[in-house]
Amino acid sequence: MTTTSNKAVFFDRDGTLNVDIDYLHRPEDFIWIEGAKEAIKYVNDKGYLAILVTNQSGVARGYYPEDDVINVYNWMNEELSKIGAHLDALFYCPHHPTGKVLQYAKECTCRKPAAGMVDEACAKFHIDRSKSFLIGDGDRDMECARRAGITGIHYQTGNLLECIKDFC
């Protein structure tokens, strides 16, 4: 039995797809990074899965519920659909070791720089790590990519589409 092998671009959210504001959890506060929507469409058109992987410690800290994370993701996809783009999946970590909400106050294997979110996505979608990338703005994103065995793209500033075109 042969398993189809997919390729993926894993996107960090805050600081990569949107302007990083502390504990973003409302669509009305979301500001797209220049070229972010177009970068997602570009990877869609190139046959990559576009997967969001994001630490959301605001859940563990009691700042907002998990539903807010999902609502922002759904809103992002509504906005992306206007240009014929989409995110294929959301993987997020609601945990933090010093969180105030007990069920989320723990060490875990999904919080970046750990590779748990990428590993889970790779298993679920049969992703070929050698053909995949993780793009993020932080050192923890690059460490996550390294631990997951995929190429990390360190986004710093400028147009995200132009940054990603160099890799896929």
Place of tokens 């053909």: 131
Mean pLDDT throughout 39-68?
98
Whether 29 has a binding-site annotation, put simply, is: no
User: Does 14 carry a binding-site annotation?
Assistant: yes
Determine the Cα–Cα distance for residues 79 and 36; give it in Å rounded to an integer: 11
| Residue ranges of domains in the chain, CATH in brackets | 8-153 (3.40.50.1000)
**Known catalytic residue: 119?**
no
How far apart are alpha carbons 168 and 42 in whole angstroms?
Answer: 9
Q: Is 20 annotated in the active site?
A: no
What is the rounded distance in angstroms from the CA atom of residue 37 to the CA atom of residue 159?
Answer: 10
Q: pLDDT tens digit string along 95-150?
A: 999 999 999 999 999 999 999 999 999 999 999 999 999 999 999 999 999 999 99
Is 12 in contact with 137 (CB distance < 8 Å)?
Answer: yes
Distance, CA of 92 to CA of 52 (rounded, Å): 8
Alpha carbon separation from 147 to 10, 17, 84 (Å, rounded): 14, 22, 32
Query: Is position 45 annotated in a ligand binding site?
Result: no
The model's pTM is 0.96
Q: Which of 39, 130, 28, 16 shows the shortest CA–CA distance to 87?
A: 39
What is the predicted pLDDT for the residue at 1? Answer: 44
